[in-house]
Every structure is written in C-alpha cells, then in structure tokens.
Structure 1
C-alpha cells in the first residue's frame, strides 16, 4: 500500500519556525497579508510627513527670524496642508491594512481549524487516548485564537513598528551621523539585551513551561467539570480535587518565577528606551558648542529632539510584540506537532468487499506499540470467522480484550500483526470512508451532540429526509418520547434543561444506526445499565437494527446472547472457547462458570436477616 503524504510533515516543519512558518500556514491568504503589510508601510511613511512639515516650516521661520514677515507664507501653508492630508491618508491606509489583515486572519482561523479537525479525525485512536482532551482543546482554541489575534491586530502594528524607526533613523543618518549614532546605540543595546534574555535557551524553556502548565491546567479543568457528579457526591472542591489544584498552583508558581526572571531585564530595557534623549543631548550640545552660530545645525538638533522621543513608542511596541511572537511561535509549534502525527494510512487503490463476513487472521495487537521492549499485548494470535448475516457474541471477564476486538473492526487502531478481512478484503486495503459506510458502531456510552434530536439521528445518513429520520426513530422505539419534547425533533439536547435519560439516549443512538443501515454492526451491549422499561424498548429497537446484518456484539448479560449463532469466550487477549450457548455450558469451562455466576446474580436480593452472597461474574 502506498503511504499518503502527510500535510506539513515533520521534515518540512523543522525548516521554518515563528513568523516564517506562520506565513507558510497562511497559504493562499498570504496575498492579503502582503497587501496589509504594504498598506501599513504606506501609512507609516505618511505619518512621518507631519514631522518633515514641522522641520521645513521651522526652517523657513528661522531663516527669517529677524523679520518673520518675510517668511514664505504660501510655503508654510502648503506644508501645513500636506501635514493634514498625509495624516488623513495615513489613517485611511491604516484602516485598509487593518481590514486586509482581519479578513486574512478570519479566513486563516477558519481554514486552520477545519484542517486540524480533519487531521484529528484521520489519526488513530491511539493518539487520542495518549493525549488529554484539555491539551487538544487548548491547541484548537487558544493557540489558533492567538494566531488569529496576532495576524488581525499585531502583524500590521509589527510592520509599522519596524518601518517607522527605519524611516526615522534613515532620515537622522542623512542629517547628522553623530547624533543618529547616539540615537541608535541605546536602541541596539536594549534589543540586544532582550534577545539574549528572552530568545536564549532560558527564555525558550520558560515559554515552553508556560504552554505545558496551561495545557495541564486545561486538562485538569476539563476532568474536574466532567467529573462533577463525583465531585458533588464526595464533597470535593477545586482545592481538594488535587490534580486540578496542583495544576493551578503549578501555573501560579511558573507565573511568579517568570515575572522574577523578566523583572530586571524589563526595567533595564524600559529605562534605556525612554532615555534616548539622554544620549542625544550631550552629543548635540557638544557639537553645537563647537559651532554656536551654525543655524542649520541648530535646526537639525531641534528636529532630533522632536523625533527622538517618538522612537520610544514603536520600540516599546516591538517589545510587546516580541513577547507575543514567542507565544505565537510556541503555539505554531504545537499545531505543527498535531499535523506531524501520522494519520491512518489510506490505500492507493481502495478495494470494495463483495460480501460482509468478518475474519480475524492470527491478529495480535498492543496499545503501547511505541516501545517494543516494554509493551504488553492486548490480543495474541486471535483467529475466528463471523459469517455474513449472523450474530457473533464476545464474552469474557473485564479487561479480557472484548472491546479491543470490536474496536479493531472499524480500524480505530491498526493491528500489530496478522490481518482483519471483510468479505476477503483486508480492511487496510479499504478506504476509511468506505469502511465507515459498511460498519456501524453502537457504543455503550452514547455521545449526543449539542444539536437537535433530528440532526443527532441524521448523523447516520446526512442526506436522509425528515420522514426517514422519523421512520428510524419509530423503529428504535423513541418516536413517542421525542414527540413529548418541547419542540419535538427540533429540540436541542441540553438547551432549556432538556436532557435525555441513559435509555432514551441509547435509543436515539440505535435510531442513528438504523438510519445508516450498514451491513455490519458492532454492538457494545446497550442494555447493560438500562432499567426494565427502557431495556424492553431498547431490545425491541435492536431486533429491528440487527435484522439481516453481520453482528458483533459485546455481551455483558449472557441471557441476551442465548440465540447467538456463535459465542467467542475471550480471556487474557485470546479466544479460549467457541460455540453456541448450550454447548459452552456443557464444556464446564470459563463460560460455564460465567453462566453459573449470571444465574446466581439473577436470584440475588437484599435481605434483612442474612448476608447476601455476591458472586463475581468474572
């Protein structure tokens, strides 16, 4: 099979970092960013015109200081008009540059999130189990948001903050090199100090710690919110929920240490930048004392005194933008880390099975397959066949490998060795889209999205009509309770206090699978925790769902699989027994012990007079 090219692979992303990588991510939106930059430069140049106007007006007045009436008033008015027009033009070009950067930013934000979501959907489940949802959420939301904010607001400022000092210093060097050097030396010294401190190894390490601490706090916060029922029951608070408390205190400690790390360099930097006049004044006074009658130099000296304080503003802006650039660079790196993850390999020429039987051919699998020396196999040499349109049940103790077998069929993970075939075709030679078309999965833990009931069911088939959705709901025995909801099928889950019980949610999931109508169904038994009323409704929906399909069912209640065509008993990652229910009971093996425990559990009841024997079904 040919491996697909991975978007933004590791070899490519290592070549570029920071702004250059950000521009690469911008892709086709780079033209808008260039336009924004050009407009920002023009705006900056126009902003310098009023300074030039002041210079020429003062020069004209000084030339006729003895008799101001002789001054060329037309020239003065002309420069005054140019100053006003250039200021207005500067604002117009600044607005245009800001609009271009905002449009580019929003398009990049949309494109980047779509690409990230699509790439995450293509990654194997192993990546999602290794990564905390809080860390992924931070990258998808905060890192992308910061990039959007940087492009929309700070990139035009950055270009202007670079262009203005370059223009001003260029003009200064043209007028007088000595005073221009006196102006440039403190700026160079201040930024050299900032580069050494913040862009050195310690500065980069501190920024990485910031993102790590923020990710840990996000992950712990998500866990705290998700575990709110347990938090309430056990009377926990943010302080007693230790992982959350530790994550917050770690972030606080990092912030304090980073503040101490930045304090002294920041003070020195600010002192130097705000003291540019202190460097110019001695040089200017010294030069003026040598030629006190030089009116032209006096005028130049005055211009330097006017321009020098104006250099501090863009320089300070560059400092703040530099801090944000470090955050952006780290965020871009984390986005690239997601893009660098290898997705499930797609075949060059996908194959389509002619039938829907399932065959495991000596399959071995390990969840932790990155370190061959330490990994432990979840499945070892599993081999069986599930015939088309028949039900195959998987039973066994907790942790025996039942769910692993089921999860390998829709290729949530790739096998370590061996192969899985559907209709004689290796699932790795089928396209993921086609595989998802022919396999439906009903999980025990149902996830309903924050959307209408109709859209949650329509996820099974996006082109389904409203009538088909209702038909599927009726087959799953959930039409009646949906009709009782405030807006019926248009009721949004979670909105206005509308929540479904576990059994109702399970029936919606079954309706989703009925609508999809895939020929293969992988079913993690839906009635495991249902009450009697919901269990009857769910069983009725399941009978409709499994009709004429190849079914793999993970059984928790052995009574629900008595009619299965084949029962596979899984223990320790291996299939230890195979057969029908009656045959397996007679074998006096693991299934027999589980059946006895199941019968004992069915007769279990609370009693005031005697202790009840609790039988472990595993």
Structure 2
C-alpha cells in the first residue's frame, strides 16, 4: 500500500487534491457522455410499446421529452467539457511546470560530484521525456481509467438489478482476458527499461557528437563516430518495436476474448428469452450495454504499454529526487570579514582522497596563488571554497562562519569566479554579462565590458550587445569568451574572487589588457588564483605549493625560490620551457 501511495504521489507531482478534482471533472464529463445511450434505450422501449401492445399509440410526447434531454445534454456537455479541458491543460500542466521547477531547485542544491558521475543525456532524458511521460499519464490516462472503473462498476450494479444471470454472462469473459494483460505488462516492464536505456544512450551520443564535431572532423572521424550514433538509433528502434510486439497479445488475443463476450451474451439471452425468463426489451438492452462494458476494458488494455513505460519513468524521477542535496541553513549568516580558512580539510572523489588534512588560510584583501603539478588539488580547493562540494572531513569557513551554515545563494553572492573553461549560454552577450548583476543598467554592462577589454570586439559584431552566442559560446573565440566572463565577474563586484588560469586562452596581443582588467577585478578583494604559469603570480601575497593533495610549501615568490624545493624546481622547468621552439629534424 505504501508503495502505491508513493507511486501515486509521483504521478500526481504531489498534488493529490488537484488530481481528485481533475478526476471528478472527468467523471462528470463521462457521465454526461453516456446520457445519449440511456436516451437511445428509452427510445427503443417507447417504439416497442405499439408492438408489444397492439392498438397502443406511439407516445410522441415522451419522444419529444427525450429530444429535449438530448438538447440539454449538448449544452451541459459543452460547459463540462470546457471545464475539464481547462483542468487538464491549465491546472495539471501548471502542476507539472511547478514540479519541473522544483526538480530544478533540487538539482541546484546537489553537489558537483553528482553531475560528474551522471551523464548529461541521462539527465536531459529524465527532465524532458520522463516528466512528459508522467504528465501525460497523470493528466489523461489515470483520470480516464478512474472514470472507466466507476462507469464499469455502475453499469454492473444497474444491469444486475434487471437480470443477474445476464450480468454473469456479460462478466464471464473478463477474467479470461486478464492473464494476457498481466503477461504483456510484465514483458513490457522489462522492455521499457531497455528502451529507456537505449533512448538515454542515443541522447548522450547526440550531445557528444555535436559537442565534439570539430575534433571529429579534425581527425577525419566524423563518419566513423556517426556509425556509432547510428547504431544507438537502431538499438532504440529495435526496443521500440519490441514494446509494440509485447503489446500484441493484449491488442489481439485480449480483444478477441472480449469480443467473444458478445456471443456469450447473445446465446445466454436467447436461451432465457425462449424460456420466458427475460423480457425482449431487457435482451436488447443487454446486447447494447454489453458493448459499453467491454469497450472501456479494451481501452484499459490499451493503456498497459503506457503504464509500463510511465512506471519506469516515475522510478527514474524518484531516484533523481532521492539524491542527497547539500545541507542548507534556514537563515543566511553574514560573515564578519572575507577571510577564508580550511581547517584539517580532507576531500575524496568516490574512494580516491585528493586532499589530505589540509589547513590553509586565505586572508581578507590578499592574493593567494595555488601552484603545483596537475592533479595536486588546486581546482578542488576553489570548488570547495564556493561549496560546489562538501568536504569529507574538516571545516571551511568564510569570515569565521562555516560555509555549511550559510545558504547557498548567500555564500555565492560573496564570490565571483573566472575559470579556464568558460561557459556562455545560448543568449545575447548582454544577457551573459548581466548574469553578474541582473538589475544592472546598460551603462554598467558596457563599463564592465570596457574594463574587461571586450567592448571593442562586441561593437564590431552585427548586433553588438544583442548578438546571440552559440551553445557554450561556440561562436566566439576562447579569448573572447574569457573576456566576457571577466566582464561578468567585474559587474558582480563580489568581495571574494576565484581565478583558475584566467589568461590561459588569451593571445599575447590582449593579454596585457586582460591582466589590467584582472588587476581591477581583484583590487581590495580576497583572491585565490590557480596559476600554471608561475610568472603570472610572482607578486602574490602568498603562494601555496601543492603536491598530492598536501601543502608542501608556503611563502612569497622570493622565499620559495630560496628554499630550493618544489616551487624552485617548477620555476626552473618553466624557465627552460620558455625557450622551447619547433625544430625540424635533419633527414
């Protein structure tokens, strides 16, 4: 029972009261639709009166009354159908919209580790296809099924009053058709899982193919990689056909068994009629109304494939909603200053620990550079400071307040980030810069762009600040994207700045301008900068040298060189690399 409640809660997006109202309107809609059947039966009864009682006149007045009932039914049905349509298309659609927004809020509170281990195609399948499946089932199929069951129950009760033996004849074939339904549902439940997996693979393949098309073309692999994508489409097609084949026993044998019920009713009625135990009108009524009983059951059988597929979608939504979010304080604590401290912090990616009992201090209004070999934990430290993840051990504080005790939005309001891998949204350049300060004026946006040395190239574009950039900023160069991200950070003007090799994608011509922009960005800020080129952080207030998740050295540039340790070796290696040039080997 609890399992059913959980499932029902999922397909109604938690709005069970709205769902009950939707079902009620569907029932009224269905009830009004059945009125013509009753009018038809009464009309047949009235037409039979002169035949059953010769000399008796046809009751025309009653027939006119029935015509009036049909006219009233048309008018009433219009208003009920309109209200039902609104309840489905507006009421429940609004509920589905709120449910999607709620899932978006849930995803926003998940750690970045979750997105690292989940495929983008998988998430897009859940948010788009699975929610659509559940919405269609919840807004259409379930209310219809509820109405069908109610109508079926009422029909059985009413007809049983007229003749219980004929009612047994009507119901006889229904249990015989159920095994085919159960067998089909079980098979489709298994195939639906395989179909969803195939759809996820296809979605992931499309994203990967489109995102990597430049690399594929460069290595002449576009055609070969498309064969892999085509294979995933074929797999999806194969499982889709399998779903239809699994539904065949219900669609064919189940319907055949139910149609045989008409013959059973005819034979049973004829036998009772010849024995004088069934009035002719009742016989006609059972023949007509048995169709009204079997048809809803056939419709239910047609829903089995939808149930199997949607049940799998509901489970995937529940699985995503059960992912553990980062804890969040009820109220946003305000830090006294912008000092950042790591106190005995450890962190693991799965079973691999990448930071080991790390204790660091990043003083307010100072520049701290993180240097070290690749994989030493530099980027992890900046992500932990912004609480993209929670440390697996120890504590991180901002202004003396543990970041776990701050609301996520509150914490991020104090932080600006400029990372090496810049992502711009498929929107205007203005909108991408405005993300730093949603209520900024156009003058403020342009001033930030000028400071970040990107105003000139923006003004050279056809639509200037209204130019649409491609997905991820694909229509711009790496340096142009980087400058826009710096403009965004300048506009935000947060007291803490995290820089991850912000000049890595820039050409020498603009590097000096960008360095000036960064200098303006970090002025009077608490800055943590990740540097691969040591020359760019020589003037940092302190440099932390990391290796294998541990702080090996700490000090100024001069102090670290004098220690003749890891930093000195890195400096020497980069100095040698600076003189590297391409040389053609003599043949």
Normalised by the shorter chain, which TM-score bucket? Answer: over 0.9
- Unmatched runs of 5 consecutive residues or more in structure 1: 1-11, 369-374, 612-618
Q: 1:165 to 1:300 in 2, by over 3 A?
A: same
Q: Could you tell me how far 1:411 is from its partner in structure 2?
A: 0.8
Partner of 1:8: none
Q: Distance in 2 between matches of 1:13 and 1:394?
A: 52
Does residue 1:158 correspond to 2:121, yes or no?
A: no
Q: Distance in 1 between matches of 2:161 and 2:82?
A: 31
Q: Distance in 2 between matches of 1:610 and 1:581?
A: 41
Q: Could you tell me how far 1:120 is from its partner in structure 2?
A: 0.7
Does residue 1:305 correspond to 2:294, yes or no?
A: no
Residues 423-462 of structure 1, C-alpha deviations (whole Å, 9 max, x = no match): 2222222232221111211111111112222221121122
Partner of 1:4: none
Question: Equivalences for 1:167-566 in 2 at 5 Å?
Answer: 167-198=154-185, 200=186, 203-237=188-222, 240=225, 244=229, 247-291=232-276, 297-348=279-330, 350-368=332-350, 375-494=351-470, 499-566=475-542
Q: 2:33 aligns with which of 39, 47, 57?
A: 47
Does residue 1:74 correspond to 2:61, yes or no?
A: yes
TM-score (norm 2): 0.92
Once the two structures are overlaid, the 10-residue window that deviates more, 439-448 or 178-187, is: 178-187
Once the two structures are overlaid, the 10-residue window that deviates more, 76-85 or 534-543, is: 76-85
- Unmatched runs of 5 consecutive residues or more in structure 2: none
- State the secondary structure of the residue aligned to 2:370: strand
Question: Contact 2:425–2:470 at 8 Å: present in 1 too?
Answer: no
Q: Distance in 1 between matches of 2:318 and 2:340?
A: 37
Q: Distance in 2 between matches of 1:438 and 1:14?
A: 44
Q: Distance in 2 between matches of 1:285 and 1:279?
A: 10
Question: Contact 2:188–2:308 at 8 Å: present in 1 too?
Answer: no
Does residue 1:133 correspond to 2:115, yes or no?
A: no
Q: Distance in 2 between matches of 1:108 and 1:555?
A: 48
Residues 38-73 of structure 1, C-alpha deviations (whole Å, 9 max, x = no match): 232223222222222222222222221164771211
Q: 1:94 to 1:414 in 2, by over 3 A?
A: same
Partner of 1:615: none
Q: Size of the alignment, in residue pairs?
A: 585
Question: Contact 1:50–1:84 at 8 Å: present in 2 too?
Answer: no
Q: Distance in 1 between matches of 2:295 and 2:223?
A: 43
Q: Distance in 1 between matches of 2:566 and 2:479?
A: 31
TM-score (norm 1): 0.88
Q: 1:305 to 1:84 in 2, by over 3 A?
A: farther
Partner of 1:581: 557
Q: Distance in 2 between matches of 1:14 and 1:36?
A: 23
Q: Distance in 1 between matches of 2:175 and 2:504?
A: 70
Question: Contact 1:364–1:417 at 8 Å: present in 2 too?
Answer: yes
Q: Could you tell me how far 1:278 is from its partner in structure 2?
A: 1.9
Does residue 1:107 correspond to 2:94, yes or no?
A: yes
- State the secondary structure of the residue aligned to 2:413: helix
Q: Could you tell me how far 1:118 is from its partner in structure 2?
A: 1.0
User: Root-mean-square deviation (CA), in Å?
Assistant: 2.7
Question: Contact 1:238–1:245 at 8 Å: present in 2 too?
Answer: no
Q: Distance in 2 between matches of 1:112 and 1:493?
A: 30
